[in-house]
Structure 1
Amino acid sequence: MRLRRHQREALDAIAASEDQRHWIVLPPGAGKTLVGVSAALRWGRPVVVFGPNLAIVEQWRQAWEDVAGGPTSSDRTLPTRFTALTYQSLAVFDAESDAVQGTARLHPNGIALVERLREAGPITLILDECHHLLQVWGALLDDIVCGLPDAQVLALTATPPALLTPVQAQRVGRLFGSITYQAGIPALVAEGDLAPFAELAWFTTPTAPESAWLDARALRASELVTELLRTDGAGIPLLTWLALHDGRDLPRETADAAVRLALAGHLDLPEHAHVAERHRRPPTLEDWLLLASGWLMALREGTEPERERARRLGGLLPGVGFRLTRHGIVAGQPLVDRVLSRSAAKTLAAAEIVAQTLAEDPDARLLVLTDHASAAALPADVDGVLAPESGSVRWLLETFVADPRIAGARPVGVTGSSIGAQAEVMAHLLPGLTGTSAGSEVVVIEGTSAGWLRAATRALESGWTRVLIGTRGLLGEGWDARSVTGVIDLTSATTSTAIVQTRGRSLRTDPARPDKVAVNWTVTCVASERPQGDADYRRLVRKHAGWFSVDEYGDVVEGPAHLDSTLGPDLPPQSLPNLNARALSRSADAEGIRAAWARVSPDRVNAVATLRVSGRRAPHPLPVLTPVGTRTVPLSVLVVGVVAAVVGGLAGGSLWPAALVVTTICAVLAGILTRRRAVAMRAKAVAGPSLRDFGAAVADALQERGLSPRGAEGVTVSVAADGETRIRLDVPPGIDDDAAASQVFAEALDEVLGVIEHPRYLVSRPGWEDRAPRWYESGSPRPDTEIWHQVPAVLGVNRACVDAFLASWHRHVGPGEVLFTGSPEGAGALRALRWSSPFGDAAGLTVRHRTQW
């Protein structure tokens, strides 16, 4: 039995643990099943496995028979040494006992199974894809695991811990403690256990009928905001009311909305506000309503004219998808989101991706996933805007068959209750089926048959069919086809489980195609100029949060930035045709994708926080010439000369000529170095400190105070083709706190570079307003002004930290002083500097946080 590296490491970690409960995180395709079988064989106990569906249960039974031999079963009576069951066989809830919690809610069959588990003695209990227990049957997990104190419990999942909800993470910690072993997808791709891949996005806009409907909603939203801003109505005007409230008392989402309104000029920035990337976009309708909710509640408790105004505003809310309740403004039906997520334009976009991919790669095998098998009910408000079949498997199949660029790939649609294709394709796919004949029309057969899915999968694996369309529920978790080279995601699911499992379909290596490169697409409909028109983009952001892939520069990046480096988590894109063109170009560059993954270290287990700095006033990436500290070199050279002269004099006249020569050479060298130092200082004065200078100052100070395992030597600076500078603190793989250290560094450096808000300390450096400094007679630059930066909060907690930072600042940035903002002088300086940027106007410098592997 040959084990991969990460399988061996997982088993070693289990063996090294003294606990009886183990939590293992391995991505789809990493071989979790073999890890579970191997661990169970080592323990030598009866084995009971729970999985989320019958397909996975059958995989476990087959794996055990292949490795261990002997009979297996899926019988609740546990008649064999190895039993595999679905979670549903355990959690058959009794509808008549809803008021009772825990196992008492189980149907008698479920209770009997729990009792058999307890009576079986010491057993091995394997919980495969255990995130299902956390999400659906979490209350039962506590009862069952805690009720089996002698069991060896092995929980397996593909969902990284960072993507668990707080409730799920709390339950994992209570039941399993720390994670026994985890391996990320980037590490497995680098190791060669998963296929190299790229994630791309195709952006489309709504169709004409959809746009007309959105325009009507936009008009209603505009009328509502106008009404909110009226100052001649009853009661205190909204903006006045907001200005009277302290932002510190607001929930985070509401406080963020207040900052966005302030940056747009509607309010003053709250005194204790923090301006981050998420705030640098225009306020949305949701922002206005979050802030107006409390004001409306106050109006409802006021005079009769104020109550009447509240009723009038409340009557406008349903027209934009909200309603006013006694608890404030709440969202109603997300109709705009529904229109965008099921836009007919997304089906056409999927057809374009399929056609382009098939033309580029004759061996491509594509999986197109959607939510609906056929027609789905729609709210009355969008009747006539969306077709009930829009976005369904049937709709996609008919669109693909009608496209001559795709029809030759013999697309097949399969759901839990149907299978469809062109008549001639169906005749080949299901030869024993009557009623099909040669022809180009689409034939769909309704019913249920596991054989249909097997036939469609075989056709895809063999290449006879190159496009398979289906629902995420059928072709997601538990379904495998190693030949799949790409997934086109049209689904609306955004849970971490759905995303990991969906994209995992294409990441498996293919023995028949060792050079396989996978390309996955997320299709998104954007109407950013309309209220709530970014709903589908926000869905895309949630789908890619925590997911790593290569960007166009070959870096492995988390979030939407790996789709295109210009994309961020907050602001939807504008130039859609350019984005799509770049994505198509990347999809065809299999060699570039493969080469990017080849540069990734399989030893790294944590991602690294990275700052991306751009703008017309951004610091130079690297020092122009030499560090400030070169002023000590000429002095050392002169000392050598003086010592040589003294030694020569003491030794006698015969050594004087040699000493004179040495002294003369040293003096010449000192002059050369002095001139070089002057040139360096002039260049540095004109250019200002580099981004690396600032990063080195922060890194060294963090290391000196024990907050980082590395100092300036770990600072890495690179410049992308578009001029954006990327800076991070690289910590060698194997250091446990590498991710935490890089995050502390990124946050601290962001504070140094960012707008001055409310720091405890300020630090200065010389500045030249016109970038053409005057000079002292000694040749040193003479500043016109002092430029002030924030001392990072983590280094401003006490005077020892501040002194360490100032010393590092002197070494890498230049002369300067610190100022305590709690002193009268410091408070005055802070009042004058607050919300200003050390690099001129705030728009001249953009700093974005990203996470990189």
Structure 2
Amino acid sequence: MKHFPEGITFRYSWRSYQQRILDQLDDHLSNRHLHLVAPPGSGKTVLGLEVMLRLNRPAFIIAPTLTIKNQWADRFRELFLQTGQLPEWVSTDIKNPAFVTVTTYQALHSLYKTAEQPETDTELELTRETEEEDSGNMLDEEAVNGTREARRIQESIRSMSFQTLILDEAHHLRSSWWKSAMAFRAELQNPAIVALTATPPYDVHQGEWQRYMELCGPIDAEISVPELVRESELCPHQDYICLSLPNQEEFEPLRVFRQQTGTLRQELLQDEQLKKAIEEHPWIGRTETHTEDILTNPSYYSSMVIYLKAAAYPAWEQAAAVLGVSGSEVPELTDEWLEELLTGLLYRDEEADQRHHAYFDALRRRLRGIGAAEKKKVYLRSTPQFDKMLIQSASKLRSIRDIVSFEHSNLKEELRMVILTDYIRKESFPDATGKTKPLTRLGVVPIFETLRQGLPEEMPLAILTGSLAVFPRDCGALMEEAAARRGLSLEYKPLPFDDRYVSLDIRDSNRSGLVAVMTEVFAQGGFRVMVGTAALLGEGWDAPCINSLIMASYVGSFMLSNQMRGRAIRTQKENQDKTAAIWHLACVDTVLPEGGRDLEMLSRRFRALVGLAVDRNTIETGMRRMNILQDRYEHRDIESLNQETFLRACERHRLSQRWIDAIALHDHMTEELASDGERVPRPLYMQHTIRGLIYAGIVALILTAIEMFVSPGMIYGDMPILMKLAVSLIVGLIAGAGPLYKGIRLYMKHQSLESSMAEAGQVVYETLYGMKLLTPKPHKHRLQASMEAGMVVCRMEGGSTQEQLLFLDSLQQLVAPINNPRYLIYRESRAGLLTRRDYYAVPEAIDRRKEDAERFYALWIQRIGPAELIYTRTTEGRKMLLTARLKAMSASFVPKSERISAWR
């Protein structure tokens, strides 16, 4: 069989955005490659199957999980073949490949891993994750028994001559899985690659991104969330954040810890031995001869200088002066800087430890004694253990109870809520006598118990994980009917502590079927709140009835956050007016700036989530749209912010219109950079202006002096005196016209902060275009900058998402604190007796070649003004780089810019 049988077609009409992709398919596949990015619920699987049919060649499909693998086969059978059974030329078993073969990345890796082993009759066992992490959905059952079988299967696969390779959600690939996928692709003869994903791994490090791109290729087309909402393929939805404060039992040990570290800090500032150890350090005593060493760890060196200044030890002045850093530029000693200092001295600086071992050893023991040292790092504000405690805080259980109660009061019987978390924690169930246990951490069972004990009986609950299922006894008949339709028999027993509920045995063999059964009964209303694990239900699970989701998971990554949220925002055919609420939880540390680690993790999650801003009609990513960010939180702030959140959540009826209004304002997604403007390069137009005025004044003065005192009447004849002065001034202004023109031109270009950002962006853009890294030609309207919510926002119009990301990455590096660039832009400006020195990094994509850096520099001179280009790999250049890095390390650090996606 070399081609698909005739007559296979999609049974429904294509959605408009799907048709757009299919209309452009010939262009996309001209290089035998299609990489499509589209949110959950947009029909990527169906599109992939249609592309497979149009390519009309043997196809090999790889999915991330068993559930999604089965979905590919089911969608093809139901929507294209329209039969009750798969034909023999479609296989979901890698051991028996067919014309169309669907498998998982794990099964493919297992095959290649086994084939590479020495021949043996022993069975390869797939590594299984622990039950606690509930990874049942991620496991494949296609274990390969021995090397001989693996090689036989490989030979069978080669004989099929696959020419279409479909990669579904390839962002899942770990390093070893990626190698197996690449090896398999290399064995195919010029295959057409179709890569489909909802969440490209934009937030991974560059090496991992390059691996992903090597397998999937550049992104060809994208479908956006607003586009899908506009087409009624995703429902109107809103994110909400519910904040909590740690319990007294949680916060008390943290308070004691900070009291102890505060006492230690005061003692260290008076500690003569520590002062001496730092003063005698060769980086302080002989700074100029250790520039290279300091550049390897400038923050450590900075911490020494900052400590000596705080301790009023004069050695800091000379060390700072050598690098051109004045006293006012040396920041205050914060806990962050003291952590950096102590970590360096006690755990990384072997030479310093040898000279002061006895003292350092005693200090290490003291830090360990109060819990301030862990894994060779010093913590004075919070520790990983305390951070984890707050992330898993029992206060979130109260938040969940409040949210469930609130949603139930609003939606009543229509509520279909799912709560996703990371751990099961079966030990939190009451014992056989019904005696309850303290609920001190997040988990499936603690959440279930919080709701079971704290909500009315008419609120039916359920649990669904890879190894545990619980449902109300009253819906047993619905469960058995749904199971019978799937050929399953259910075995369940009452919970010993509450006969209103029964537990169900889940095994590998029946897991997929039981998930479908419980999903059907959930949709029917047999239970209205279901608690499950993100590992099982967070990706690939299809339950369009969900209208409220609580993300009680610790996940902050771009990929998994978007996948979990995607469970709730799908449309429901039976409910055209469906809207969805997605609830996020955070436990706030009121002592730490910006709320602590949990809020930091939540901010990371929101970088991936496209949604409505709470206070304006914009659609974008990032935490700014939630309007809860503060430099520091007080107890009363938490209560006030939560009250505002619940009031907004009462306005579900407005969601549809708000989405309509926001979508109508614009027509596409674009990538943006939001910065507070602190590092945006402003022109030094005053220098040109002053120079021009000086030239004009000198020329006018000379002419006037000649006319008035040296040779009266020689130049102007018998003109009136005022006329002579006016003519002298005009001639002077003409003489100074060059500098004056430059100053006026720069002023006109940089009248506002956003115009300066646009000019800086033009320098970056034109350089990248000259390097052939951007394709749209430079144009005055190509870059847009504006002030929004106190931030300078810059965006690039046109180009692919990857081109926009490259441009914004480069612009972000320009306005960010200096790290370790090969080239620097340096400039000086004077105001009276003071001299200001500014340093900017030439972006990484540009500074690899001297020619590109010089092109960037020439454009800088043209658009922003005078400066110097410094190559940092010389001795003098390294010294300037060190000075630049030290200047960037202020007490509060320079506020970081933020990358966002927005509907524009």
TM-score, normalised by the number of residues in structure 2? 0.67
d(CA) in 2 for partners of 1:713 and 1:94? 48
SS in 2 for 1:512: coil
The answer to whether the aligner puts 1:215 opposite 2:215 as a matched pair is no
The answer to whether the aligner puts 1:87 opposite 2:108 as a matched pair is no
The offset of 1:436, in angstroms, is 5.5
Q: Deviations over 1:464-501 (max 9, x none)?
A: 53321111112111211112123211112334332222
d(CA) in 2 for partners of 1:808 and 1:794? 15
CA contact (8 A) 1:324 1:330 kept: no
Equivalent residues in 2 for 1:397-416, closer than 5 Å: 397-404=448-455, 407-416=457-466
Alignment match, 2:780: 711
d(CA) in 1 for partners of 2:324 and 2:651? 48
The answer to whether the aligner puts 1:462 opposite 2:524 as a matched pair is yes
Alignment match, 2:535: 473
User: Which segment drifts farther, 136-145 or 309-318?
Assistant: 309-318
Q: Select 1:112's aligned residue among 138, 141, 152.
A: 152
d(CA) in 2 for partners of 1:79 and 1:731? 46
Equivalent residues in 2 for 1:9-408, closer than 5 Å: 9-11=20-22, 15-16=26-27, 17-20=29-32, 22-69=34-81, 71=87, 72-78=90-96, 80-92=98-110, 108=146, 109-134=149-174, 137-189=177-229, 192-222=232-262, 225=265, 229=269, 231-233=271-273, 236-238=276-278, 241=281, 249=293, 255=298, 266=310, 271=323, 283=336, 287-293=340-346, 297-302=350-355, 306-314=357-365, 316-317=367-368, 319-320=370-371, 322-323=373-374, 334-362=384-412, 363-375=414-426, 390-404=441-455, 407-408=457-458
Alignment match, 1:609: 673
The offset of 1:8, in angstroms, is 3.9
CA 1:434/1:851 → structure 2, altered by over 3 Å: closer, same or farther?
Answer: closer
User: Which segment drifts farther, 173-182 or 739-748?
Assistant: 739-748
CA 1:740/1:342 → structure 2, altered by over 3 Å: closer, same or farther?
Answer: closer
**Runs of 5+ unmatched residues, structure 2:** 1-9, 125-143, 311-315, 429-436, 482-489, 683-746, 771-776, 871-876
Alignment RMSD (CA, Å):
5.3
AA at the equivalent of 1:760: Y
CA contact (8 A) 1:718 1:726 kept: yes
User: Which segment drifts farther, 430-439 or 18-27?
Assistant: 430-439
d(CA) in 2 for partners of 1:12 and 1:180? 13
Q: Select 1:4's aligned residue among 5, 15, 23.
A: 15
**Runs of 5+ unmatched residues, structure 1:** 378-385, 620-684, 768-783, 810-816
CA contact (8 A) 1:517 1:594 kept: no
d(CA) in 1 for partners of 2:274 and 2:153? 65
d(CA) in 2 for partners of 1:786 and 1:235? 32
SS in 2 for 1:343: coil
d(CA) in 2 for partners of 1:318 and 1:198? 46
CA 1:58/1:834 → structure 2, altered by over 3 Å: closer, same or farther?
Answer: closer
Q: Deviations over 1:353-394 (max 9, x none)?
A: 2222333344342210111223469xxxxxxxx957732212
d(CA) in 1 for partners of 2:199 and 2:208? 11
Q: Select 2:624's aligned residue among 561, 564, 584.
A: 561
d(CA) in 1 for partners of 2:95 and 2:37? 30
Alignment match, 1:779: none
AA at the equivalent of 1:445: S
Alignment match, 2:659: 594
User: Which segment drifts farther, 110-119 or 239-248?
Assistant: 239-248
Equivalent residues in 2 for 1:295-694, closer than 5 Å: 297-302=350-355, 306-314=357-365, 316-317=367-368, 319-320=370-371, 322-323=373-374, 334-362=384-412, 363-375=414-426, 390-404=441-455, 407-424=457-474, 429=479, 443-448=501-506, 449-450=510-511, 451-529=513-591, 534-552=596-614, 553-564=616-627, 566=629, 575-590=637-652, 591=654, 593-595=658-660, 597-599=662-664, 601-604=666-669, 606-612=670-676, 689-692=751-754, 694=756
User: Which segment drifts farther, 172-181 or 481-490?
Assistant: 172-181
The offset of 1:188, in angstroms, is 3.9
CA contact (8 A) 1:202 1:349 kept: yes
d(CA) in 1 for partners of 2:114 and 2:493? 46
Q: Deviations over 1:576-624 (max 9, x none)?
A: 22332333333334435524642464433x4121334599xx99xxxxx
d(CA) in 2 for partners of 1:141 and 1:350? 41
d(CA) in 1 for partners of 2:867 and 2:354? 48
The offset of 1:110, in angstroms, is 4.0
Q: Deviations over 1:120-140 (max 9, x none)?
A: 123433232222334562231
d(CA) in 2 for partners of 1:532 and 1:744? 27
The offset of 1:64, in angstroms, is 1.4
CA 1:400/1:313 → structure 2, altered by over 3 Å: closer, same or farther?
Answer: same
Alignment match, 1:761: 827
Identity %: 19
CA 1:58/1:225 → structure 2, altered by over 3 Å: closer, same or farther?
Answer: same
CA contact (8 A) 1:21 1:153 kept: yes
Alignment match, 1:781: none
SS in 2 for 1:520: strand
d(CA) in 1 for partners of 2:497 and 2:419? 24
CA 1:597/1:540 → structure 2, altered by over 3 Å: closer, same or farther?
Answer: same
CA contact (8 A) 1:762 1:820 kept: no
d(CA) in 1 for partners of 2:292 and 2:815? 25
User: Which segment drifts farther, 740-749 or 116-125?
Assistant: 740-749
Q: Deviations over 1:478-536 (max 9, x none)?
A: 21111212321111233433222211111212223334333322212232527998332
The offset of 1:428, in angstroms, is 5.9
d(CA) in 1 for partners of 2:651 and 2:300? 41
SS in 2 for 1:237: helix
User: Which segment drifts farther, 539-548 or 290-299?
Assistant: 290-299
User: Which segment drifts farther, 335-344 or 538-547?
Assistant: 538-547
Alignment match, 1:778: none
d(CA) in 2 for partners of 1:94 and 1:701? 48
CA contact (8 A) 1:560 1:567 kept: no
CA 1:257/1:198 → structure 2, altered by over 3 Å: closer, same or farther?
Answer: farther
SS in 1 for 2:531: strand
CA contact (8 A) 1:550 1:557 kept: yes
CA contact (8 A) 2:493 2:503 kept: no
SS in 1 for 2:273: coil
Tell me how many residue pairs correspond in the alignment.
Answer: 725
CA contact (8 A) 1:421 1:443 kept: yes
SS in 2 for 1:195: coil
SS in 2 for 1:301: helix
The offset of 1:349, in angstroms, is 1.0
TM-score, normalised by the number of residues in structure 1? 0.70
CA 1:280/1:74 → structure 2, altered by over 3 Å: closer, same or farther?
Answer: farther
Alignment match, 1:728: 794
